[in-house]
Chain A
Amino acid sequence: MRGINRMRYRETGQVHMDFHRTTNGTIAYLRRQYGQEMVDTVLRRMARDVYRAIRSDLMAGNPESLVEHWTCFLEREGGEHSVERDGDSIRVVVQRCPAASYLQGRGVALDAAFRRQTTVLNSALAEGTPFEVITEVLDDTRYIETVRRRRP
């Protein structure tokens, strides 16, 4: 396994949770005006271009920067989660998604595709790498992300 990249985007300072409201509104707008494929296009580009360093590590055989990315921002936003390791499989169990919880706490209706952002991003991050990322959405605020080597 080659060396790990330092996490590319290491944010500090105040967390502005209300950006989740605009993400939700933007997903709703794109879906309404152009359809789900348009939302997925943006998310796939984000995975490919914005998160290039994470993909590069996955391609090099290292899933740790992806796991660090998941846990770092869950921690910054106060999202309850745990990390479980079993062989080459790493599971991040999110008991309370901070984005969905924030919106629900303010009476903002989650767009039908809001939860899907995680699934599409994760799939696109793993595309063309030796890893697969499985996203299990349990309900609006709970989900499990698993990264593991692709099975033959």
Chain B
Amino acid sequence: MIPSDHFVRFYNEVFKVLDELGSNHLEEYWRELGRLQSLELSQRFRDGGLQACYDYWANIVHEENCEADVELTADYFECRMRRCPSLSKVQDNDAGAFERYCDHCMAWVEPVMQAAGLYAVMDMQSRSEPHCVFRVYRDPESARDFENAAKLLSKPYDRMEVAGC
């Protein structure tokens, strides 16, 4: 049994193997995760809006041992991750971290939010430090403003070059 505690290290190896076949293989896998997560979550976020996002991530912060602050404003929901348990574990790993590891998060969040009619922006800030800022907006213009101010945007399907490490 792969312990649930070690799932992200398994995930990290899956990313590496698929990426070795070509980045399109990895992105197809991420799209499948996004499709499955959309089935589970998009209606909830469409119906409940930013409050539903807040409720969902407040629970995730607890369940996944995140050191993070979640905030709900009139304009957006924000999850400010101070110590991401996922990247931290992947870095505390004799196998080493996959360089685009952080992108898997936005890879499922983006399709879920698109299906829910919301706009997600992920500022990874760094690929090597386990902190980031993630926001969800109702208004696309506001989302674009936050995107423009981001230090290191996660755009998993844009074939962006790995930078900012």
Contact = CB atoms under 8 A, between A and B. Distances in A.
B17 A41 contact: yes
Contact of A45 (B17, B28, B33, B92): B17
A50 B13 contact: yes
Contacts of A125: none
B31 to A, nearest CB: 11
Interface string A17-46: 111101101100110010000100110011
A16 B60 CA distance: 9
Secondary structure type dominating chain A contacts? helix
Interface bracket on A: 35 or more
A136 interface: no
A16 B64 CA distance: 6
B10 to A, nearest CB: 6
Interface string A100-133: 0000000000000000011001000000000000
Contacts, number: 92
Interface stretch (A6-14, A58-66, A83-91): A6-14
Given A14-B64, A53-B94, A26 B11 contact: yes
A15 interface: yes
Interface bracket on B: 20 to 34
B32 A29 contact: yes
A147 interface: no
Contacts of B16: 45
Contacts of B105: none
A49 B6 CA distance: 13
A50 B64 contact: no
Output the residue of A23, A45, A53, A99 with the most chain B CB within 10 A: A23
A6 B142 CA distance: 50
Output the residue of B5, B17, B62, B95 with the most chain A CB within 10 A: B5
18 contacts: A9-B6, A11-B3, A16-B65, A19-B4, A22-B33, A23-B7, A25-B33, A26-B14, A29-B32, A45-B95, A46-B13, A46-B95, A49-B95, A50-B6, A53-B94, A74-B1, A77-B4, A121-B2
Given A20-B4, A20-B7, A77-B3, 17 more contacts: A9-B92, A11-B5, A14-B65, A19-B7, A23-B7, A26-B11, A26-B29, A30-B14, A33-B28, A38-B17, A42-B10, A42-B13, A45-B95, A49-B96, A50-B95, A76-B5, A77-B4
Interface of B: 1-11, 13-14, 16-17, 28-29, 32-33, 36, 62-65, 92-96
